[in-house]
Structure 1
Amino acid sequence: MALSAENQQPPVVVVMGVSGVGKTTVARLLADRLGLPYAEADDFHPAANIAKMTAGTPLDDRDRQPWLRALGDWLGERAAAGSGGVVTCSALKRDYRDVLRAACPDAFFLHLTGTHDLVGDRLAHRTGHFMPPSLLDSQYALLEPLRADEDGTALDVGTDPETLVDRAVAALAQRNR
């Protein structure tokens, strides 16, 4: 991706959305395409959060705060180092995104969206993940889509991951003009 003269820094991208929308797949492909470091938000959860979700109990805002701060630290470190980076994070509420932006004001949010039926079907067929499909409704209930004043874009996941990455790269290039 070519960077404009006014923004020579590689981007710091948060791939966001409800569980099962394809954040990990798209984020890994995007990081590979752009040659950026990648981090999986699930790796930042304290053990207590994972145990709670595995048991089918949604996290509350207090549970999410240390996780969001750790993710924000990772984003801020990538921005400060000038390396850029791509991280997955549900970032369902504006307040959560604000925590991330406080640590990394230049974060770009790539919101992956999809119908409840499509995402529910993906979750029902996913194996090896602690997040049960029963929590999808709670995630949609919390979801606050990006607002006009937030730096980012929304992409519908009704297409293949490579096309989504093409669209994400185009959105980042547009941002840098």
Structure 2
Amino acid sequence: MSDTTSATTLVDAFTDAGGEPTGERAVLLETLAKHRMLLRYTVRGLSDDDARRRPTASALTLAGLLKHVAECEAGWVDFILTGVVAGSESWAEWSPDTDAERDDFTLDDGDTLERLLARYDEVAARTDALVATVDLDVAYPLPDAPWFPAGTRWSARHALSHIIGETAQHSGHADILRETLDGQKSMG
């Protein structure tokens, strides 16, 4: 059997006749798509300067949240594929004081809204392709971190659920920031 045939057969095993994922995989993709859309919607029509503004006492910005969510998703997809989350080697030493130094919320000069949204699209496409084919039961030990119980293992299913949770949580943060900036809301 060729590599192409085996990959096609694997995808077919998780899809209906129309080629779309079904069951649990369809739910994961639908839920991710909904929360990604809500996050993207919060930055609609903003300038790069507005996306970088800090309208609350928090250090969070809309652009920083978008960058964080994309990098968080990419990191957990790497975990699903390799059992490693890039950058997690420093998690064990985390403290509230070091949290402010995290690079995934920090914006570089080149982090325009257009580039951040393009990166998010790339990450989302990679995740969506993985959801269609990955063994949802493949599992690895979690990195050492104060927020994970020692010895815990996560399956691909756990990691994908975590991606959904992160996206939903930060979409809510983004909605608050956007409403504070100019009164626009994602929902309600």
Q: TM-score range by the shorter chain?
A: under 0.3
TM-score, with structure 1 as normaliser: 0.25
Q: Which has the larger radius of gyration?
A: 2
More strand by share: 1
More helix by share: 2
